[in-house]
Amino acid sequence: MSLQPVFTNQLNNFTLQAIAFGQMWGNERDIMVFALYGGQVGDIAALGNHKNVLCMDDPSSGTNLYRLEDHTRVKTFLVPVTKQSRPHQVALLEECKFVVSGSDHGIVYVFDRRSGKIIDKLRVDAREWVQTVAAGKCSGVSAIFAAKSRDLVGTNKIFVWRKKNNQRFAIVGIACGLLVFLQLFVLMAEMTFMYQNVFTTRM
């Protein structure tokens, strides 16, 4: 694979913090650039093209969800602060259905995007910061990744959580399997009856 330069744009008096691809208007392909000293906003976290939203952490207010088309803040997801405000990464999961956020007390929070309610707390280590999180799919199953923030001494574990299969779906699957088996059994019984009574009588 060879990379080809597309364009270069110089920004003066600008300390780059993060770059993300976005879709601001229609089918346009945009590159969004975020400055380090442009305000109290922290780390750019996730860009959801499915819902045209941007999610980022603001240490002064919490994890914020913005609408890209008019830059309006739609919702704030409050993450408890037990030590001090520091930026941490957030991520969007399952086409923006869920918002995932780190914390200063070893817990990864999973919020419902629409209601803003906490639907899960994934525990890492109560003594450590969790500033690094990511979300995606592994073999078609939703997964959340997180790592503790610590000194570069020794090893550091990367924690991975996978979404459990819905028990209701499993029960429905078993019920459907039994129904198919029952239908096949009835069909075989009908064929046997026809063979014994119809074809045997004609013979």
N residues, the chain: 203
CB atoms within 10 A of CB 120: 15
pLDDT, tens only, 120-169: 999 887 778 888 888 888 888 888 988 887 666 667 788 888 887 654 43
pTM over 0.75: no
Q: Tokens 């200063």 — which residue? A: 104
What is the C-alpha to C-alpha distance for residues 54 and 44, in angstroms, rounded to an integer?
Answer: 8
pLDDT of amino acid 63: 86
What is the C-alpha to C-alpha distance for residues 44 and 18, in angstroms, rounded to an integer?
Answer: 6
Mean pLDDT per block of 10 residues along the chain (203 residues) reads: 68 67 56 60 45 76 80 86 79 87 88 90 83 83 83 74 62 50 65 61 53
pLDDT of amino acid 170: 39
Give Dmax over CA atoms of the chain in angstroms. Answer: 98
pLDDT of amino acid 167: 42
